[in-house]
């Protein structure tokens, strides 16, 4: 099997490449990554001699065509992925998430190559805190931010290319990931690395917002199950029943790092801040037999805190610039 992994130098993509090299050594992996602020060669350093790394843009049609021509399948992780950035400057989200996906779809259509599209639960908008419902594959799309709107648009492009052109493709919409190699702009790494520097965690608004946390390795094992056994045209929701309020996440991080549980501060809220996400992953569990391995969020979080403590050399180069961006937003 020859696999093109876009965005393989980012958080989830790099973990995916590590998993492939570890457990599927017979797979030939080509990574296509633009190495934006979010892509880091250091994340691929441990496997650099086992994969081919191409620096380039998923919206570069000639480059994408030449790479797709020599693989059996594409897993498309590359994206602009941070909501706060999409509020400050939406254009890169339109370019990468929409034009980039379009470019890949045209290439897989031309070459008859299998395509898997990585997406997010944010396409469904948000739920009330007390709503018993969870997102399912038939929940109507209702994205809130430029990030989630471009991800929603990219999903719809995939569906259209399946129906109109017979492209063989699957989509997965996953909830919030945590684990090693996540950029320090994201909630959990920001707070953990801040605490290493003696900075109190910063909660947007009230902190009552709920995210449905899943360990990145569980997400990636679900992606492999879909690649191997998923039905073309199907949408699979990925989640591990990890609903937790931001307030509780911060309290757990503080406790794991030996601080008082109330040693955080509230900062300005994110405009349009989604209240709650929750995933019903029963299709994935029942049809493909996937189950998460990280069943205790607290244990997974403890591993992640340890990883950031042990890998300061990886995150330190990104920390100051990230906090300078937040300072401009007053957060």
What SS3 string covers 83-149? HHHHHHCCHHHHHHHHHHHHHHHHHHHHHCCEEEEEEEHHHHCCCCCCCCCCECCCCCCCCCCHHHH
Inter-residue contact 88 to 130 (CB < 8 Å): no
Q: Between the CA of residue 246 and those of 63, 110, 119, 208, 212, what are the distances in Å?
A: 41, 44, 22, 6, 10
Q: How many CB atoms lie within 10 A of CB 305?
A: 20
Closer residue to ligand TDX in complex, CB, 109/215: 215
Given strand 52-55, what is the order of strands in its sheet? 52-55, 28-33, 2-6, 73-76, 114-120, 169-174, 235-238
Among the listed residues 150, 172, 176, 304, the single contact to ligand TDX using CB under 6 A: 176
Q: Does residue 37 belong to the site contacting ligand TDX (CB under 6 A)?
A: no
Using CB distances below 5 to 8 A depending on partner kind, what does residue 203 bind out of ligand NAD, ligand TDX, none?
A: ligand TDX
The C-alpha atoms of residue 37 and residue 80 are separated, in whole angstroms, by 10
Q: Which of 167, 203, 240, 301 binds ligand TDX (CB under 6 A)?
A: 203
For ligand TDX, the nearest residue by Cβ is: 120
Q: Find the residue with minimal CB distance to ligand NAD.
A: 10
213 binds ligand NAD (CB under 6 A): no
| Residues 115-144 interacting with ligand TDX (rule: CB under 6 A) | 120, 122
Residues 122-161 that bind ligand NAD (CB under 6 A): 151
Choose among ligand TDX, ligand NAD, none what residue 77 binds, the Cβ cut-off being 5 to 8 Å by kind. Answer: ligand NAD
Contact status: 187 vs ligand TDX (CB under 6 A): yes
35 interacts with ligand NAD by CB under 6 A: yes
Least gap, CB of 6 to ligand TDX (angstroms): 15
Spatial CA neighbour of 300 closest among 46, 15, 83: 15
Name which of 190, 318, 211 is nearest 265 in CA terms.
Answer: 190
Hey, which residues are catalytic here? 121-122, 147
Contact 277, 127 (CB under 8 A): yes
Say whether residue 81 binds ligand TDX (CB under 6 A). Answer: yes
> Residues interacting with ligand TDX, by CB under 6 A?
81-83, 120, 122, 176, 186-187, 190, 202-204, 209, 211, 246, 270
In the complex, the residues that contact ligand NAD under the rule CB under 6 A are: 6-7, 9-13, 32-36, 38-39, 57-59, 77-81, 96, 100, 118, 120, 151, 174, 176-177, 183
């Amino acid at each position: 099997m020859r696999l093109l992994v876009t965005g393989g130098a980012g958080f989830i993509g790099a973990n995916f490449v590590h998993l492939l090299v570890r457990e599927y050594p017979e797979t030939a992996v080509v990574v296509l990554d633009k190495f934006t602020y979010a892509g880091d060669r250091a994340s691929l350093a441990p496997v650099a001699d086992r994969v081919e790394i191409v620096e380039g843009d998923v919206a570069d049609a000639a480059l994408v065509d030449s790479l797709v021509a020599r693989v059996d399948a594409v897993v498309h992780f590359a994206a602009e992925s941070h909501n706060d950035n999409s509020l400050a400057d939406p254009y890169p989200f339109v370019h990468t998430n929409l034009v980039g996906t379009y470019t890949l779809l045209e290439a897989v259509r031309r070459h008859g190559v299998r395509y898997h599209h990585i997406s997010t639960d944010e396409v469904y908008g948000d739920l009330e805190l007390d709503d018993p419902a969870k997102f399912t594959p038939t929940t109507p799309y209702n994205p809130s931010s430029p990030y989630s709107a471009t991800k929603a648009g990219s999903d719809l492009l995939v569906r259209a290319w399946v129906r109109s052109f017979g492209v063989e493709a699957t989509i997965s919409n996953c909830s919030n990931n945590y684990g090693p190699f996540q950029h320090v702009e994201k909630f959990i790494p920001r707070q953990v690395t801040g605490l290493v520097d003696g900075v109190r965690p910063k909660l947007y608004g009230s902190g009552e917002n709920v995210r449905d946390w899943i360990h990145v390795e569980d997400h990636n094992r679900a992606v492999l199950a879909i690649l191997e056994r998923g039905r073309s045209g199907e949408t699979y929701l990925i989640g591990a029943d990890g609903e937790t309020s931001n307030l509780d996440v911060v309290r757990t991080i503080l406790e794991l790092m030996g601080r008082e549980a109330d040693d955080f501060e509230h900062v300005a809220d994110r405009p349009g801040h989604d209240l709650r996400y929750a995933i019903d992953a029963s299709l994935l569990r029942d049809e493909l037999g996937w189950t998460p391995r990280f069943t205790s969020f607290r244990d997974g979080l403890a591993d992640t805190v340890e990883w950031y403590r042990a890998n300061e050399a990886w995150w330190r180069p990104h920390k100051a610039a990230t906090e300078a961006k937040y300072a401009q937003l007053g957060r």
